[in-house]
A and B are shown apart, each in its own frame.
Chain A
Amino acid sequence: EVQLVESGGGLVQPGGSLRLSCAASGFTFSSYSMNWVRQAPGKGLEWVSYISSSSSTIYYADSVKGRFTISRDNAKNSLYLQMNSLRDEDTAVYYCASQSPAFDYWGQGTLVTVSS
């Protein structure tokens, strides 16, 4: 059974940092591109970042470029999102999703709240 489990969310002050993790199991993680998608309270889905299977290709949404860094460790079947210089508008549930070719599997999400 495919499982994606996010962790690392929580309450952080504006300007602070958080590192999200996504633990994958039940599939060959190293063969799949991965993404982070977020959803602000009561709002729609917003794509955040993409990383290819080998980490050779990385893309970011304009809203997070220069502040967030996506990475992965295929040996640990894990995906990460380092979030720096957090803003109020980054408050959201963050999902990791595998891509083949659409976002076929999603985690349950982890809530990030940016507030003073």
Chain B
Amino acid sequence: SYVLTQPPSVSVAPGKTARITCGGNNIGSKSVHWYQQKPGQAPVLVIYYDSDRPSGIPERFSGSNSGNTATLTISRVEAGDEADYYCQVWDSSSDRWVFGGGTKLTVL
């Protein structure tokens, strides 16, 4: 089955840039979606189709995907960005959605 690997945690100072990676075999050939989840809340879609932003998501959130790594980039990080972030892909070989293990973003 397809596996997505994320770092358990990423720390960044306010105003700096955070990069959260999502590794998978030839993930560049798949469409990657990203979700933000704050404690006690449901996940929120922040990036879809590798780099598209839903309405209402700040331009500070961007995404890229190539080779074996997809990346969620958060520019000018704010305290309110502190959350867990999950990547997701559709595994067409097994007809299953797959989530990464999640990355806890800490704003220092």
A and B pair up: yes
Q: Which A residues are closer than 8 A to B by beta carbons?
A: 35, 37, 44-47, 50, 59, 61-62, 95, 101-104, 106-109
Report yes or no: B97 in contact with A47, Cβ–Cβ below 8 A.
yes
Flag if A44 contacts B102 (CB, 8 Å): yes
B45–A103 CB distance below 8 A = yes
Kindly identify which residue among A45, A46, A50, A108 contacts B35, using a CB–CB cutoff of 8 Å.
A45
Does B67 lie at the interface of the complex (its beta carbon under 8 Å from any beta carbon of A)? no
Q: Is the CB of B99 within 8 A of A50?
A: no
Ordered nearest first, which 4 A-B pairs have the shortest CB separation?
Answer: A102-B33, A47-B97, A102-B48, A106-B42
Interface of A is mostly: strand
Q: How many whole Å from A42's CB to the nearest CB in chain B?
A: 11
Q: A44-B86, A45-B35, A45-B102 are in contact. Are A104 and B45 (CB under 8 A)?
A: yes
CB of A103 within 8 A of CB of B86, answer no
Q: Which residues on B sit within 8 Å (CB–CB) of A50?
A: 97
- The answer, yes or no, to whether B14 is at the interface (CB within 8 Å) is no
List, in ascending order, chain B residues with CB within 8 A of A108's CB: 42
B95 at the interface (CB under 8 A from A): yes
